Amino acid sequence: MSDTAPLTPQAIPSWIRVRVTEGENFKELKQMVRGGRLHTVCEEARCPNIFDCWNRRTATFMILGDTCTRACRFCAVTSGRPSELDLGEPLRVAESVAELGLRHAVITSVDRDDLRDGGAGIFARTIRAIRRRSPGTTIEVLTPDFQGDLEAVRTVVEAGPDIFNHNTETVPRLYARIRPKAVYANSLALLKHVKSLAPHMVSKSGLMVGLGETEDELLEVFRNMRAHNIDVLTVGQYLRPTKKHAEVVRYYRPEEFVELKGKAVAMGFGHVEAGPLVRSSYHADEQVPARKSLLAG
């Protein structure tokens, strides 16, 4: 990794630039989300890539409402007491996927620790609704940790998504500060269980950098992921959503992401995305060919 002195949190570097363009596709997708009473992580988490993705007619649908039972220090999604389950949500998501004509759909959710199954049943209903309405669409899920409940994981796996994603987010040392209600070992066990239930299902996980981790800690997480048979890795720069959230300790330079990617690929990951604006669902549709090559291998 580069030994260049880290930048201060106030000095947002020139290579982190977001093009703000509300084209016709962006406006149409926004209207569809509103009309369908749907939520997207693009909006709720204040993702910097929303203009790029929506103009490309791709979005990550967020199910189980818009209120999370946790309050992670990195996440902009509203936390609090969620409302009752909306049982019509899976069908509305499926209709939107069909209307958009998506080749690849990404479904994520808030954490619902208030539910017995953590919301796994709604994930399964959503996957099956998309399959019925858009049989040619590949489906990726980005799930919470279900508080370590492996039966909930089974519920989602048996619905048959093509890619099962769950983010470890950061290194174990920082969990207490950044992700206090999560357990690092649970996240790894969840993804290992996915592969034990469905060996040909692609497993995926992602990390943020810039929260105070060291390179050695990052590489150890990479090694742990490979030991748990995780196929796809994403690594991106943490960007502070508001002043209430954790500060950026430093910004990684583009060449550092290149180095991290090279080291991850050498460990045996089937596909690695690494860069300042990489997010777990960013350009996920472009990773579908990678899935095919993983299956072929």
pLDDT in the model for residue 44: 46
Domains and CATH numbers, the chain: 27-296 (3.20.20.70)
- Which two tokens mark 198? 């469905």
DSSP-derived secondary structure letter, 106: E
Compute how many other C-beta atoms are within 10 angstroms of the C-beta atom of residue 145: 25
Quote the percentage of the chain above a pLDDT of 70.
76
Q: What is the pLDDT of residues 59-89, one digit of tens each?
A: 678 899 888 898 888 787 778 888 888 899 9
**Is the model's pLDDT at 4 over the cut of 80?**
no
Three-class secondary structure of residue 175 per DSSP: helix
Within 8 A by CB and 6+ apart from 207, the residues are 167, 168, 169, 170, 171, 218, 221, 233, 234, 235, 236
pLDDT in the model for residue 294: 58
- Which two tokens mark 126? 């959503």
Characterize 224-253 residue by residue with b for buried, 16 or more Cβ atoms within 10 angstroms of its Cβ, and e for exposed. Answer: bbeebebbbbbbbbbbbbeeebbebebbbb
Within 8 A by CB and 6+ apart from 84, the residues are none
Average pLDDT taken over every residue of the chain = 84
Average pLDDT over residues 234-259: 92
**Is the model's pLDDT at 98 over the cut of 50?**
yes
pLDDT in the model for residue 79: 81
Within 8 A by CB and 6+ apart from 27, the residues are none
Global pTM value: 0.85
pLDDT in the model for residue 31: 65
From residue 113, alpha-carbon distances to 44, 81, 140 in Å are 19, 10, 22
Identity (one letter) of the amino acid at 295? L
Q: What is the pLDDT of residues 43-56, one digit of tens each?
A: 544 555 555 555 55
The confidence band for 292, taking pLDDT boundaries of 50, 70 and 90, is low
Q: What is the pLDDT of residues 109-126, one digit of tens each?
A: 989 999 999 999 999 999
| Radius of gyration of the CA atoms of the chain, in A | 18
Unique residue bearing structure tokens 């090694």: 223
Average pLDDT over residues 207-214: 96
Higher pLDDT, 290 or 156: 156
pLDDT in the model for residue 18: 60
**Is the model's pLDDT at 274 over the cut of 60?**
yes
pLDDT in the model for residue 178: 94
Q: What is the pLDDT of residues 158-201, one digit of tens each?
A: 999 999 999 999 999 999 999 999 999 999 999 999 999 999 99
Nearest alpha-carbon partner for 177 in 147, 208, 202: 208
Distance CA 286, CA 278 (A): 13
pLDDT in the model for residue 160: 97
